[in-house]
Chains A and B, each alone.
Chain A
């Protein structure tokens, strides 16, 4: 879609960014020491830390990705909400207090606390880098997604801007400023998402599409003369010229043609939407209800339960990416956005994204749910937040505050996603924009505020991730593993240089992965984290025969196997347009890589038993 910036949106956005940078510079004074920079001096109040946890966790993946996935795939997107929240159970009941007791700045400290092993220091630091980079990708993609409708900039420009601001934040103040940015942002995100959900429920549901929503026309096939006919994926696509503009229609095999929206890259490299240049604004938003229960056309205001039961009895037009038809028409590359009419009762259960009737679909589903459940407690940027509070009791309390805030927000995601789906606000090219565009359909001010908060979300999360990676480089790798003797000040300086380098890499990856759903991308980060880190954490805490070698091997094998499966997955092939048949059909690695990592830890630990090496009881 073509977006133009509005003055109020730009103003609100600049105010937020200015405020975030102001906080950053203010707290820079507290980040002179290594403990201040990497762990906020361990002095953050548990409630502030809990909301900051929520801020860290409710990243672009949650607000943009989950809402987008629900808007395009229905209940399957909500599975991420359930899994992300369930993961906190592992963090609270199993990991929170021991991690706080064992660690200092990074989770590598905790893993290595009983061994002082070079191999653990190296592998855990590499794993922190790998997981954080995977988590950074969707945040940066999300940044570009937000900036496009907000400022009218292209995606890459948004990614570069976020990278530059975040590098400035992290290079100035570290964990303290990140914590307070996350605290404010986490709180505001929950408050304004609630406002948005109230607006959705007040509006109710209707079969009348909005004025900017695409409602396809139907014409008699015999009444027009096609200039081209293409057979693709079992459907017939017909090109018709009307008013001097050529566009594609779908043959419904009953003597009628259904109008479609399309994107064409001509042989000359020109980009056309519905046959016209982008600036003509021909591409409209999509998604609307075709049928409500009992022949209604409008429901009016709805209650919480009534909202769901009404959608269950309705019929919705969606545009899932998997149904887009891509073909060549002469020298032109064409993508026709094919609508799919889905019964509400099918949308409100899993099955649109995860094909639960097929073996591989079931495997992908189980694998994802496993990774989400076990991934939270192994995310480095989440784990380091346990070192920002004074005690283990505070770590526990802040985790509970986090669960409450995050859980409440995740309930809201289902309303926001379904709202976007049924109110016709989805950008057919990117479901990631659904939540901000839903806000825009109500009010420009709400859109501006929500987009600015979401942008702050990205800033905060990326800052936290970069602090985690800079800690892994400066503290775990340079100081502990390589034994480079640094003063406190030098360590902070090394961390800032590392933050700069990681920020540049994040910018490049954010541009490369444009277009992929950000919740899906974060699912991969969870899988890598759960495979590389969780087996070590769990076994260190609960199995006395765990050895340093066992931990190092487990991290290495878990990380490499998860990455290998992801990099060779069908989704990765599709993202980069590789036409070859993927070597396997698994998109989610957790079901293989997590048990493998546990098994390797047990086997290597048993093979390397020495009295001095095993965990002391």
Chain B
């Protein structure tokens, strides 16, 4: 059996490499942020008790920030990728 893609994947996308590189950079940035959370918990868990915002401790603020940053990075990544796809694939078409 052939392992061909399901749909519309024969459409040429000139932005593949750009998107892959951007994705890896954003992944690395988030990875560092996530690693910071793990390291604080492992090396100095009591530091997580520090009140940082409106009397709420670092553990909760850091945890919420990890979630919110993931959403924000996703939206930014999509906006940049969509723009690049439109630019690079339009050039090809022209």
A-side residues, CB < 8 A to B, are 35, 39, 42-43, 75, 78-79, 81-82, 85-86, 88-90, 92-94, 97-98, 100-105, 109, 112-113, 116, 305-306, 308-309, 312, 345, 348-351, 356-357, 362, 365-366, 369, 373, 387, 390-393, 396-397, 399-400, 403-404, 407-408, 410-411, 414, 479-480
Contact = CB atoms under 8 A, between A and B. Distances in A.
Interface in B17-76: 19-20, 23-24, 26-27, 30-31, 34, 37-38, 41-42, 45-46, 48-49, 51, 53-57, 59-60, 63-64, 66-68, 70-71, 73-75
A392 B82 CA distance: 11
A476 B2 CA distance: 12
Contacts of B5: 100-104
A366 B3 contact: no
**Interface SS of chain A: helix, strand, loop or mixed?**
helix
Which 6 A-B pairs give the minimum distances between C-beta atoms?
A309-B55, A93-B23, A42-B7, A305-B54, A93-B27, A349-B48
A164 B46 CA distance: 48
Nearest to B55: A309
29 contacts: A42-B6, A79-B63, A85-B67, A85-B70, A86-B34, A89-B30, A89-B74, A92-B77, A93-B30, A94-B23, A94-B27, A101-B5, A104-B5, A116-B3, A306-B54, A308-B55, A308-B56, A308-B60, A312-B51, A348-B49, A349-B57, A350-B41, A387-B6, A391-B9, A392-B9, A393-B81, A393-B85, A403-B71, A407-B67
A88 B70 contact: yes
A308 B68 CA distance: 18
A88 B26 CA distance: 12
A399 B27 contact: no
Interface size class of B (residues with CB under 8 A): 35 or more
B13 interface: yes
B45 to A, nearest CB: 5
B91 interface: no
B73 A345 contact: no
Interface of B: 1, 3-9, 11, 13, 16, 19-20, 23-24, 26-27, 30-31, 34, 37-38, 41-42, 45-46, 48-49, 51, 53-57, 59-60, 63-64, 66-68, 70-71, 73-75, 77-78, 81-82, 85
Contacts of B85: 393
Contact of B68 (A357, A387, A407): A407
A392 B13 CA distance: 9
Contacts of A109: 3
Interface SS majority for chain B: helix
Contacts of B8: 42, 390-391
Nearest to A75: B59
Contacts of A345: 49, 57
Given A94-B23, A400-B77, 11 more contacts: A92-B77, A100-B9, A103-B6, A305-B56, A312-B51, A348-B57, A349-B48, A391-B9, A392-B13, A403-B70, A403-B71
A396 B78 contact: yes
B30 to A, nearest CB: 5
A100 B4 CA distance: 11
A45 B61 CA distance: 35
B68 A414 contact: no
B57 A312 contact: yes
A114 to B, nearest CB: 9
Contacts of B54: 305-306, 309
Residue of A93, A101, A102, A480 with most partner-chain B CB within 10 A: A93
B63 A365 contact: no
A356 to B, nearest CB: 5
B60 A414 contact: yes
Contacts of A113: 3
A396 B22 CA distance: 13
A479 B70 contact: no
A197 B78 CA distance: 30
Most buried by A among B3, B8, B54: B3
A75 B63 CA distance: 10
B14 to A, nearest CB: 13
B42 A399 contact: no
A115 B82 CA distance: 31
A407 B42 contact: no
Contacts of B19: 97
Select the residue from B20, B57, B67 with max chain A CB neighbours within 10 A: B67
A400 B67 contact: no
Contacts of B23: 92-94
Contacts of B70: 85-86, 88-89, 403, 407
